[in-house]
Structure 1
Amino acid sequence: MDTTVNGEPRVLATDAAVALIDEIRRDYPDILFHQSGGCCDGSSPMCYPTDDFIVGDHDVKLGEISGVPVYISASQFEAWKHTQLIIDVVAGRGGMFSLDNGREKRFLTRSRMFGGGEACAIPGVQKVV
């Protein structure tokens, strides 16, 4: 699977997300993201220590943000394959098992449809593949 569509990365991060990633990596140097498909924590991007999460055979790697791999289930990817995901941060509590929990800010996925090569309109987005 290609981590870009027409040269645009499938996943990006805002500056705020990169700052929170850096904060988490001080405590947990090796982490990964898995885009949740619903259930307990809605559809939040969940951040885990690499050793505490088993990437499934059917998970799809979307790319990397700030050197951290981002995965999504194959069924969720099928629904969102025409969408660029932008990992951002908002105030609040993170997912119950996600490493952003307890930091009074949490990761949030924003998105935009691929097509036409339009620029992402979210300020502070870092294009990291």
Structure 2
Amino acid sequence: MTESPRVELTPAATALVRSLTAAHGPLMFHQSGGCCDGSAPMCYPRGEFRTGQSDVLLAELRVTGVADAVSFWMSKSQYEVWSHTRLVVDVVEGRGSGFSLEAPEGVRFLIRSHVVGG
């Protein structure tokens, strides 16, 4: 039996990642455990958000047409809460955080989670 990936992108998120990569270069996501915009996955140019011992690397997402994998990080405290889930990065209309790269596009990334076996 093949294990589902821990993190995946919807087709809409994949298209937006391609567009953002073309404009900004290699990307990364960080999902914190904060409230409001802090609970949404934030997209940054790779290396712009500093990760450390309080973060967990969940995935290196491969996107067709994008040379570099897109890393997906999560704060350890958030990971403890979501360790039993598969995360699906999606895109919806609406303005997200001003710090995330998609904000000027009139859309925002969000997480849809699915409980995995246990």
Q: Tell me if both proteins adopt one fold, taking TM over 0.5 as the criterion.
A: yes
Residues 77-113 of structure 1, C-alpha deviations (whole Å, 9 max, x = no match): 0110001100000001121200011101111100000
Residue pairs, 1:1-129, within 5 angstroms:
7-65=3-61, 66=63, 67-115=69-117
TM-score (norm 1): 0.80
**Structure 2 runs not aligned, ≥5 long:** 64-68
The one-letter amino acid paired with 1:115 is G
Q: Which secondary structure does the structure 2 equivalent of 1:102 belong to?
A: helix
- Structure 2 CA distance, aligned partners of 1:80 and 1:51? 24
Cα displacement (A) at 1:40: 4.6
The one-letter amino acid paired with 1:19 is A
- Structure 2 CA distance, aligned partners of 1:8 and 1:58? 25
Aligned length: 111
Verify the 8 A CA contact 2:87 2:114 in the aligned structure 1.
yes
Residues 9-36 of structure 1, C-alpha deviations (whole Å, 9 max, x = no match): 1101100000000010111111100012
The one-letter amino acid paired with 2:82 is W
TM-score (norm 2): 0.87
The one-letter amino acid paired with 2:43 is C
Higher relative contact order, structure no. (Cα contacts within 8 Å, ≥ 6 residues apart)? 1
Percent of aligned positions that are identical:
50
The one-letter amino acid paired with 1:46 is M
**Structure 1 runs not aligned, ≥5 long:** 1-5, 117-129
- Structure 2 CA distance, aligned partners of 1:19 and 1:61? 22
- Structure 2 CA distance, aligned partners of 1:36 and 1:94? 14
